[in-house]
Amino acid sequence: MSEGLSKILNIVLYALMGVSALLGVLFYAEVIDSELLIYWCYALFGLGTLAAVVFPIMHMIQNPKGAKSALIGVVALLVVFGISYALAGDEMTAKYANFISGPEASKRVSMGLIAFYILAIGAIGVTVFSGVSKLFK
């Protein structure tokens, strides 16, 4: 990141923190309503989301070689989610009827659990493989 952009982002960061602190003090002094704080949180969430999407795209444009490995990771994650969705069931038991709204939600929950299991087993496998491979080097 360039020095000028870094300086501008630091100024914006401190300005947002200052406004947030001021709004917090005004809220506890009962000068402003909680509705304004909620809208401020929405605005901060939107800015954070925008920054989380825009800056990686800018980095990938500036560094296309690094973008290749990132895209491979995203595709692998999408494959895991696709396999998880295909394996997920949509059964609804009476025990979980209070927590899950219907078969579609049950399938999504099941997909999330299966994806978690696949990713956890993969992480454990990579950790074990890394440790074992270091023994033979």
Q: What is the pLDDT of residue 112?
A: 94
Q: Using one digit for the tens of pLDDT, what is the confidence trace for 50-99? A: 989 988 888 888 888 878 888 888 899 999 999 999 998 877 777 777 77
Residues 78 and 98 in one domain: yes
Of the residues 62, 83, 114, the one at which a domain ends: 62
Residues 106, 94 contacting (CB under 8 angstroms): no
Quote the pTM value: 0.57
| Separation CA 111–CA 84 (nearest Å) | 5
Predicted confidence (pLDDT) at residue 137 exceeds the cutoff of 60: yes
Please report which helix (H) or strand (E) contains residue 133, including its range. helix 103-135
Residues 19, 39 contacting (CB under 8 angstroms): no
- Expressed as residue numbers, the domain containing 53 is 1-62
Total structural domains in the chain?
2
Q: What is the pLDDT of residue 69?
A: 81
Angle between helix 34-62 and 64-87 (nearest 10): 120
